[in-house]
A and B are shown apart, each in its own frame.
Chain A
Amino acid sequence: MLVPANLLPVLSTESSGRNSSNTIVSGVIELWRQGLWALALIVFTASVVIPVLKVLGLSWLLLNAHRGAPRNPRRLTKIYAALDFIGRWSMLDVFLASFLAGLVRFGEFSTVTPRSGIVAFGAAVVLTMLATKAFDPRVFWQPGEVPQY
């Protein structure tokens, strides 16, 4: 889901007869070009870095769980807790698209419309949140060990 989310346009803007569509990355580049660097960094982190980090992190945790008896269960459990915490911030782009679609509706002057990329992105966020919730970090611990969060 992250592939179509990053390839398809998430928002299209119609302003004074001009039409433009933005993907997640092109939206970040546009913010950067406008001089809104802090904003570009926030959106890039929430929409690109966190989802990718979450998928890679969960895959790594699953690999460790399948190998059995990892050497540092405490560190892996902390990584899981961090992934669980940061996951919710990926919803930023979904809320942003929803908010802009509701507010910027000035007919031919300016209108923002959400595109199919945002649906794929929302699905990716929900699926990664469900995957994190379904994962149980207790698999890293041996019977009799006390899990430390």
Chain B
Amino acid sequence: MRCGTVLAQRSRLGPDTALVFSITGLVLAPPAALLTFVSAGKLGAVRMSHLFTGVGSLWDGGMRSLAVLVLLCGGLVPFTLLGVLATACSRARLGFAIDRFGLLSRTVKVLEHWAIPEVQVLAVLVAFMKLGSVVNVTMGPGFWCYSAMAVSLLIAQHSFDFDLIAGCTRASSDPDSATRS
């Protein structure tokens, strides 16, 4: 609040929420990437699909730029963002100084624009409905882990606040400040 104007609002959830959900997302990331995403069957033939199967198909089909885009936006960037969020929150929790305009902060700003796993979840659901009448489609554990990871990332991003965790760092490094406030 400055001169009667709200400039920014803090998350109603506590400073540890981002840490908890980013670690949850990181735990869910390996099964999401490795376990079966969706399986489809037609006339006795069954085909298993994993998170990056589509990327491989695009790459093999010569659409390499599109394959890289899907790989980044649906996999690598969300996973990296979870890692960066967990690192920033853990550092603050352990009392290390966090710079508001430092590398971690800038990395979060860049990555959060391109991490869009929730759109990939919607795309899979659309495909599931679309294919339902043509082939037998079954969701695998990889899809549920990926969906839970996407939700965890959204909550972690929403509750992540550099000012708040920087404040926690200052408070823990200066015990008197807690008494003063």
Spell out A's residues near B (CB within 8 Å). 15, 31, 34, 36, 39, 42-43, 88-89, 91-96, 98-107, 109-110, 113-114, 118-119, 122-123, 126, 129, 133, 146, 148
Contact = CB atoms under 8 A, between A and B. Distances in A.
Contact of B45 (A98, A99, A109, A114): A109
Given A39-B130, A91-B119, 14 more contacts: A42-B122, A91-B116, A91-B120, A92-B119, A92-B123, A95-B119, A98-B55, A101-B54, A107-B45, A122-B65, A146-B2, A146-B5, A148-B5, A148-B6
B4 to A, nearest CB: 10
Interface of B: 2-3, 5-7, 38, 40, 42-43, 45, 47, 49, 53-58, 61, 63, 65-67, 69-70, 73-74, 113-114, 116, 119-120, 122-124, 126-127, 129-131, 133-135, 137
A104 B135 contact: yes
Contacts of A39: 126, 129-130
A119 B49 CA distance: 22
Contact of A96 (B55, B73, B126, B137): B126
A126 B69 contact: yes
Given A42-B122, A106-B47, A133-B113, A98 B2 contact: no
Given A34-B133, A98-B70, A103 B54 contact: yes
Contacts, number: 120
Given A36-B130, A103-B53, A126-B69, A95 B42 contact: no
B5 A118 contact: no
Nearest to A88: B116
Contacts of A31: 130
Nearest to A132: B113
Contact of B124 (A93, A94, A99, A107): A99
B32 to A, nearest CB: 14
A89 B120 CA distance: 9
Contacts of B53: 102-103
Q: What 10 A-B pairs are tightest by C-beta distance, nearest first?
A: A102-B54, A98-B54, A95-B123, A102-B53, A101-B57, A103-B49, A96-B123, A102-B57, A98-B70, A88-B116
Given A103-B40, A109-B45, A95 B70 contact: yes
A114 B5 contact: no
Nearest to A103: B49
A112 to B, nearest CB: 9
A123 B63 CA distance: 12
B2 to A, nearest CB: 7
Contacts of A101: 54, 57-58, 61
B124 A146 contact: no
A136 to B, nearest CB: 14
A95 B69 CA distance: 10
A84 B169 CA distance: 32
